Amino acid sequence: QVQLVESGGGLVQAGGSLRLSCAASGSIFGIRAMGWYRQAPGKQRELVAVITSAGSTNYADSVKGRFTISRDSAKNTVYLQMNNLKPEDTDVYYCNLLMGRGVQKNDYWGQGTQVTVSS
């Protein structure tokens, strides 16, 4: 009933920029936080950036100063502006939605979008 549609991934040269977006649709209520994760082969998904409904943000140390997460609450959309991209940023990026009110809490994931940074 909840869908996360990601866009903006692609191929970029080192030092370039990319902007990811993720729009949530369906039965949306009580959004607690939205964020971006990435997963390397054979590894668990790791947090890249997250933004809460109150507007607070958190970033992985490896992307601080280069990536910026933002949101459009009216559109239930989260963005990830990625600047000064490095080859090690190459990965599949997943949008995450934490939603619920009161006792209810539900976690949703996007399908993933490929980001490739060439040397």
What's the pLDDT score for residue 103? Answer: 86
What's the pLDDT score for residue 71? Answer: 96
pLDDT band of residue 40 (cuts 50, 70, 90) is confident
What's the pLDDT score for residue 48? Answer: 98
- For residues 65, 21, 117 and 83, what is the CA-based torsion angle, rounded to 10 degrees? -30
**pLDDT tens digit string along 44-72?**
999 999 999 999 999 999 999 999 999 99
What's the pLDDT score for residue 70? Answer: 98
Sole residue written with tokens 């939205």: 34
